[in-house]
Amino acid sequence: MSHSTAVLGAGALGLTAALRLAQRGDRVTVIEREPLPGGLASGFELQPGVWLEKFYHHLFRSDRRAIGMIDELDLGDRLVWKQPVTATLRDGVLHQLDSPRSLLGFSPLPISDRIRMGAALAGLKAMPDPRLLEGGTAAEWTRRWMGERAYDVVWEPLLRGKFGDAAPEIAMPWFWARVHDRTQSLGYLRGGFQQLYDRLAQRIRETGGETRFGMSVTSVRPDNGSLLVETEDGSERFDRVISTFAPRLTARLVPDLPAAWRDRHDWGRAYGAHCAILALDRPLTSAYWLNVNDPGFPFMALVEHTNYLPAADYGGRHLVYLGNYRPMDDPLMSAPLDTVLDDFLPHLARLNPAFDRSWVTDAWVFAAPFAQPIVTVDYRDHIPPFRTPIPNLWVANMFQVYPHDRGQNYSIALAERVVAAMGDAS
Ligand SMILES: Cc1cc2nc3c(=O)[nH]c(=O)nc-3n(C[C@H](O)[C@H](O)[C@H](O)COP(=O)(O)OP(=O)(O)OC[C@H]3O[C@@H](n4cnc5c(N)ncnc54)[C@H](O)[C@@H]3O)c2cc1C
């Protein structure tokens, strides 16, 4: 029997789920608040016809589901693979740190610690699953197996940059996944990942589905066996709903979710993501990715996109992201561009002493809520199942991809799983 299904959210997860449901013959409607599909991976038009992600994005070789989707949508010829330089800033110096060989030359640590860290990382890479690590923290594990200095110099700044004060409580299986899933070779969809999401939305429509962008969902309520989805434009009845929002957001929008569900799943913290993007008239650093491990910087990562793709792809502009994860009510998240630039730009001379503000020809700033779940040791117990206590209301979201770090690949894979589970249930 053909169901009418509303898919809430047009990120990687919602779009993939909608396509698969449409391919199974469902009458699918995707509802998205933003004017464009793509969610956290969406882009903006940097200059006419030239797109860039609001937040830096690439793929790893292990991202098989995302690569498969790119091929399925006939975009495979635009997927490029490179091994750009990843580095760590320590004591004012950029140290390349992206391979066993560069680790051996990583002078902020004594050679014995470099060898120890290399062995521990190799052990995590070889470990097929993280079951044995469950219950432990990344801080304890890295201190124990890599040593205090490796923790202080490399891992503590990374954990703190991503998770703030929760750094010492982050679950070890998440750290395992981060090491295990990553490859030196990084992929990028030349022309921007927005193409993937535009193409997905187009494929949904060609398969009979409907996409509504620029429309916010304000509530979902059960009503006589079906579900009423309310937006600013009114309410509409569906047989089934999949919410791809963060559990906390779904909890807010669905007042009928029972207390027991809320107690367990409306739980934990998430950070927002913040990126300032600079267009420069010349290169800034020699690295693609720079973990900013020195204290006192107002950003935790610097991603020089045009040290991956040539600046010629962007009309000769050199593009640099200055990224942060912050609590969603942090003043930075809503600060105007000029304030952000006044705060950030003076620090660039610490990375390149020749830097001058006149190099900046353009700048943008983006912030997004619910961008990084804070994966503390007890996180796992609070992950919601796909099925909710409300009949025909399903939840599938990037908060469920633990222990993996959230990423397009895992949202795409999760979408396939929730659709399979819905098929089994009908
Ligand atoms: C800084 C940063 C860097 C990243 N780097 C990478 C990377 O290098 N590689 C990679 O693969 N992944 C990366 N990611 C992660 C990747 O972007 C996400 O994992 C993926 O895009 C999540 O897709 P999703 O569909 O699960 O969620 P989302 O993209 O969050 O989609 C949810 C959608 O719901 C919509 N929505 C929310 N509320 C409402 C409402 N009330 N009504 C209607 N719509 C609503 C949102 O607008 C959004 O479009 C990065 C993320 C960030 C923040």
Residue 72 amino acid letter? E
422 pLDDT more than 70? yes
Grade residue 424 by pLDDT with cuts at 50, 70 and 90: confident
Looking at the structure, give the CATH architecture of the domain made up of residues 186-190+269-373.
Answer: Alpha-Beta Complex (3.90)
CB of residue 271 inside a 6 A radius of ligand 1: no
CB of residue 398 inside a 6 A radius of ligand 1: yes
Q: What is the percent of the chain where pLDDT is above 70?
A: 100
Q: Ligand 1: which atom is nearest the Cα of residue 325?
A: 1
Tell me the pLDDT of the chain averaged across its residues.
96
Instruction: Give the model's pLDDT for residue 260.
Output: 97
Structure tokens at 145: 């197996």
pLDDT in tens, 1-18: 689 999 999 999 999 999
Q: Which of 80, 82, 72, 171 is nearest to 412 (CA)?
A: 72
Instruction: Give the model's pLDDT for residue 425.
Output: 77
Average of per-residue pLDDT across 190-211: 98
Other CB atoms closer than 10 Å to residue 302's CB: what's the count?
A: 27
Distant-in-sequence, close-in-space partners of 61: CB < 8 Å, separation ≥ 6:
81, 183, 185, 187
Pocket test for ligand 1, best of 16, 53, 57, 254 (most atoms within 8 A of CB): 57
Instruction: Give the model's pLDDT for residue 1.
Output: 64
209 pLDDT more than 80? yes
Average of per-residue pLDDT across 112-133: 95
Instruction: Give the model's pLDDT for residue 2.
Output: 81
Instruction: Give the model's pLDDT for residue 395.
Output: 98
Pocket test for ligand 1, best of 16, 19, 34, 40 (most atoms within 8 A of CB): 40
Residue of minimum CA distance from atom 5 in ligand 1: 57
- Between the alpha carbon of residue 286 and those of residues 186, 301, 329, 360, the distances in Å are 17, 14, 34, 17
pLDDT in tens, 222-233: 999 999 999 999
CA-based R_g, the chain, Å: 22
> What are the phi and psi torsion angles at 157 (to 5°)?
-60, -35
pLDDT in tens, 239-295: 999 999 999 999 999 999 999 999 999 998 999 999 999 999 999 999 999 999 899
Query: Domain segments of the chain: what residues?
Result: 4-57+193-267+382-425, 99-181, 186-190+269-373
Instruction: Give the model's pLDDT for residue 119.
Output: 96
Whether domain 99-181 has CATH 1.10.3110: the reply is yes
85 pLDDT more than 70? yes
Q: Ligand 1: which atom is nearest the Cα of residue 9?
A: 34
Instruction: Give the model's pLDDT for residue 170.
Output: 97
Which of 63-67, 267-271, 393-397 is the least confident region? 267-271
Distant-in-sequence, close-in-space partners of 85: CB < 8 Å, separation ≥ 6:
96, 98, 286, 287, 288, 289, 307
393 pLDDT more than 80? yes
Average of per-residue pLDDT across 31-47: 97
Homologous superfamily in CATH for domain 4-57+193-267+382-425: FAD/NAD(P)-binding domain (3.50.50.60)
CB of residue 46 inside a 6 A radius of ligand 1: no
Instruction: Give the model's pLDDT for residue 27.
Output: 97
Measured CA to CA, the distance from residue 249 to residue 254 in angstroms comes to 9
